[in-house]
Amino acid sequence: MATRAQETLTGVMEQQGEMTPEDRFIEEQIEWLKAHRADTGASFTEIASWTGIAHGTVSNLLGVKGYAGNRKKYADMIAAYRQTLASQSELVADLPEKPGYFETPTSAAITRYLQWAQRGRLVLIVTGAGLGKTETAQKFRRDNHNSFMATMTASTSGIMPMQQRVLRSLGEKQAVGSPAHLSEMICDKVRDLRHAVIMIDEAQHLSIKALEEIRSWHDETGVGIALMGNERVQQSIYGVSRAADFAQIFSRIGLNLTRPRAVDGDAEALAAAWGITDEKMIAAVREMASKPGALRGATFALEVAHLMAVTQGTAVTLQHLKKAWAQNSRTGQ
């Protein structure tokens, strides 16, 4: 009843022109958030996450009955969220768009190895950090039918968590049962697929037994397998290559791409993707890409350099790039 009375009082105040500036501010923020939710199709949970307002309070604020408590606090939170959106929109409008996927000599090599895996082979792709392995694999998955990608973490090192992650990539959300049953489910899903390939990213997190389980799917169904990761997955596989218990996966690997650092052309492709033509700036990007973090680190520096330039109202220069690189190096990027 209190809420309904509050709404009635607000309506009367509006009609009589007696609404205070604070009341108008509160109503404006709530009405804006209602419209924002409608425009974005967001759930109450998402709105709560974006604004910092508790889920139950959001549903009341935006609901038919309204919120009976002190609404000024939440109106301020909505206004702060609006300001953040406005600031970000202004920044994005001035900054150049970050390049999406672009081909480099390294990404082209990775793609060729993934194409080989499509032929029912087991391949190993080992790269240093920041060379575009994951982004290349994601593009390959988007562009190729029957291509699936599962990314491993420290928590999926064992057989069953690994299987569940792979089944999710295959579209199975209810992955329950014993490890033997889960492998049967995986094999059943890929057995009759033409040119199917399962890409296992961050494979260095997997135990040898988990890697052997993946190898068994390849043996049973002929599905292509691409194990992708850093040098630790290579050490895991080749370190046990002479042990009788684990020699099988070693013997199945048809091709092994090892790319610990950027090669000629990688940095130049990154610079071109950002529209950089100045030779000194290209040389700086090349130097950055030769460091740990490779193209990823150079990309961070390019983003910060453009932000510096936008802030100063100038075109990006070599000095911006050097300052950005120094800043990223201090923060560990």
User: Tens digits of per-residue pLDDT, 281-295?
Assistant: 999 999 999 988 899
Q: Quick one: tokens of 249?
A: 């996966």
Instruction: List, in sequence order, every residue forming a beta bridge with 150; answer none if it has no partner.
Output: 200
Judge whether 203 and 233 are in contact, CB under 8 Å: yes
- Strand stretches in 25-102, DSSP E: none
Q: How confident is the model at residue 89 (pLDDT cuts 50, 70, 90)?
A: low
Per the CB < 8 A criterion, the answer to whether 167 and 186 are in contact is yes
Token pair of 267 as six digits:
């940095």
More reliable by pLDDT, 267 or 93: 267
% the chain with pLDDT above 70: 86
Query: What's the pTM?
Result: 0.70
User: What is the C-alpha separation between 117 and 69, in angstroms, rounded?
Assistant: 61
The whole-angstrom separation of Cα 290 and Cα 17 is 67
Termini Cα distance of the chain: 56
Answer whether residue 3 shows pLDDT above 80. Answer: no
Name, of 1-15, 90-104, 155-169, 296-310, the range with top average pLDDT. 155-169
Contact criterion met (CB below 8 Å) for 196 and 148? yes
Cα dihedral across residues 154, 138, 168, 147: positive or negative: negative
Name the DSSP class of 67.
-
Closest CA to 77 of 45, 50, 110: 50
Q: What are 307-317's pLDDT values in tens digits?
A: 888 878 788 89
The SS3 call for residue 224 is: strand
Band (1; pLDDT cuts 50, 70, 90)? very low
pLDDT above 90 as % of the chain: 61
Position 176 pLDDT exceeds 50: yes
Q: In what order do the strands lie in the sheet with 253-259?
A: 147-151, 197-201, 224-229, 122-127, 253-259
The pLDDT score that the predictor gives to residue 239 is 64
pLDDT confidence band for 234 (50 / 70 / 90): confident
Task: Output the CA–CA distances (angstroms, integers) from residue 25 to 19, 209, 310, in the order listed.
Answer: 10, 61, 33
Q: Are 237 and 250 in contact (CB under 8 A)?
A: yes
| Nearest by Cα to 214 from 187, 191, 234, 194 | 187
pLDDT band at 63 (very low <50, low <70, confident <90, very high): confident
Q: Which helix (H) or strand (E) holds 149?
A: strand 147-151
Domain 118-259 homologous superfamily, CATH? P-loop containing nucleotide triphosphate hydrolases (3.40.50.300)
What is the rounded average pLDDT of the residues 250-266? Answer: 85
Question: Which of 229, 221, 224, 217 lies closest to 157 in space, CA to CA?
Answer: 229
Token pair recorded at residue 266: 């990688």
Position 88 scores a pLDDT of: 66
